[in-house]
A and B are shown apart, each in its own frame.
Chain A
Amino acid sequence: MQLARLIPTRPVVFLGQVLISAATAAAGRKQFRLKDLWRVTADCSARAVPIVSVVNLLVGAILAFVGAVQLVKFGAGIYVADLVGIAVAREMAAIITAVVMAGRTGAAFAAEIATMQSNEEVDALEVLGLHPVNFLVLPRVMALLAMMPLLYVYGCVTGLLGGMVVAGGMLDISPAAYLDRTLEALDWSHLGLGFAKSFVFGAMIGMVGSYFGLYAQRNAAGVGVATTSAVVTCIVAIIVIDAIFAICANALGI
């Protein structure tokens, strides 16, 4: 009884609504417009590629810098490829891409839906019998769920590229040797773990952004608060989820 009181009701109800909405859509009774799904998907995929590329490229490069300086002391410079490859595939590409998407797309979802709320657009949907979770939230969650793993793969490639450039510049490691070493170090479990995380991060960012937008106060300040809360909550949740993944992966010996 005491434990039940500690569980926040509204987010749990919202999660339930999203799951029911997804099940209803899967049963062929979707309420959103495909045009809206394409618009959101384009916004959180193709238009996000430049910033995801730049950030992951630099993270890969930074990891290589840090690794190269230490590893070269032991004559193990070539292992910078192992370090960058494993770190990027297991952790950094998924986390960094998720943080970028939280700041970019999660914030945009919160701001857009909060503005719709203050302009009575959400009320207008409800009067028509369209539930905002079905019409506004589900396409956003679906778009991020589908696009985050792709962005993760893209983040991996650009992260490895950043590492390769630094390894070539600092340690004279040829791209062929670097790639060979990376392929030897990486296995499917590393990639699978990062891939699984990116699904969870995608769903979480879509839901958190939409949640804060939908329950925003109906004024200009409310839009600002919703956006800030969405980004902060997403970033904290990314770290918490990543820690849970790390514990589970350790327990499973992945």
Chain B
Amino acid sequence: MALLAVEALEMRFGDRLIQTNVSFQIEKGTIFAIMGGSGCGKSTLLKHMIGLLHPASGHVLYNGIDYWQSDDETQSRLRAAFGMLFQSAALWSSMTILENICLPLEQLSTLDETQRETRAREVLEWVDLGKFADFYPSDLSGGMKKRAGLARAIATEPPLLFLDEPSAGLDPISSKRLDDLVLSIRERTGCAVVFVSHELPSLFAIADDGIFLDAESKSPIAHGSPRHLRDTATHPTVRAFLAREELPANTVIFSA
């Protein structure tokens, strides 16, 4: 059984269709990329998968359990099984970095206060922020915030990790460092990773599988690893995105 399965998902904001007929499966230990142009609904898809937005129709199944058909208790149990790094890192600004990591541990684990702090300091060491535990988010650079957000997401060792544009706004060196970190986390914990990205080097470096969302047809147009799609895809938008080929005239890139 797939760790996560999305079946015939349709996403809408009111009457406006964002994407329809989105289906894919993610197995344990896979790094899965959600690709597509700006505004095509990648982050929206992620929010439907983590329970922040309700789909118009379709299913999101964790180990065969339909998230949106479950009661509140089951939904909270399912949510405990995933970590999330938001696009802006979304660190709670009134808390120190250490407190940011301790809060998920307090909510989702049975560790006592001392154990929580030990665990939080351990994950901060993983992401090379051990010396910044008592800093506030406003005192950190963009790359450090992303790493702190990643530390918060992995603190509970979730089997599934969601990353929303982890490399956005980072310089190539920080971006590469974050990619290496994601690979090392997968190696250490065996978790599956779902990530949204525009960054071609990141996509080619770490993704094993993926889906390409199209703004024009408002549905997925390709499925496979970014490297494989770059070499074999025939759809002009996919080729333009991954192989940087010229787009035919009048192609819709951004969703209306």
Point out residues on A near B: beta carbons under 8 Å.
33, 36, 39, 115-116, 119-121, 123-130
- A residues within 8 A CB of B236? none
In contact, A129 and B76 (Cβ under 8 angstroms):
yes
0/1 interface trace, chain B 45-57, chain A, CB 8 Å (1 if under) = 0010011100000
Closest A residue to B87 by CB, please name it. Answer: A120
Cα–Cα distance between A128 and B90 once the two chains are bound (Å): 13
B92 at the interface (CB under 8 A from A): yes
Proximity bits, B69-93, A CB within 8 Å = 1, else 0: 0000000100110101011101111
Q: Which of B51, B76, B80, B92 contacts A124 (CB 8 A)?
A: B92
Q: A120-B90, A121-B90, A121-B91 are in contact. Are A127 and B84 (CB under 8 A)?
A: yes
Residues in B whose Cβ lies below 8 Å from that of A119: 88, 90, 93
30 A-B pairs (CB sep. < 8 Å): A33-B103, A39-B94, A115-B93, A116-B93, A119-B90, A119-B93, A120-B88, A120-B90, A121-B91, A121-B92, A121-B93, A123-B47, A124-B84, A124-B90, A124-B91, A126-B51, A126-B52, A127-B50, A127-B52, A127-B79, A127-B82, A127-B84, A128-B103, A128-B107, A128-B108, A129-B76, A129-B79, A129-B80, A129-B108, A130-B107
Separation of A26 and B76 alpha carbons in the complex (Å) = 22
- Count chain A CB atoms within 10 A of each CB in B52, B94, B103 and give the residue with the most: B94
B84's nearest neighbour on chain A, judged by CB, is: A127
- Say whether B159 faces chain A, with CB atoms less than 8 Å apart: no
B86 and A123: CB pair below 8 A?
yes
User: How many A-B contacts at CB < 8 Å in the complex?
Assistant: 46
A33, A36, A39, A123: the one contacting B90 at CB < 8 Å is A123
Question: What is the predominant secondary structure among interface residues of chain B facing chain A?
Answer: loop
Report whether B79 and A128 are in contact in the complex, using a CB–CB cutoff of 8 Å: yes
Known: A120-B90, A124-B92. Contact between A129 and B107, CB under 8 A?
Answer: yes
Within the assembled complex, what's the spacing in Å between the Cα atoms of A36 and B76? 24
Number of interface residues of B (CB under 8 A): 21
Cα–Cα distance between A130 and B80 once the two chains are bound (Å)? 12
| Given A128-B79, A128-B107, A129-B76: A36 and B86 interface contact (C-beta under 8 Å) | no
B130 at the interface (CB under 8 A from A): no
Residues on A with C-beta less than 8 A from B50 are 127
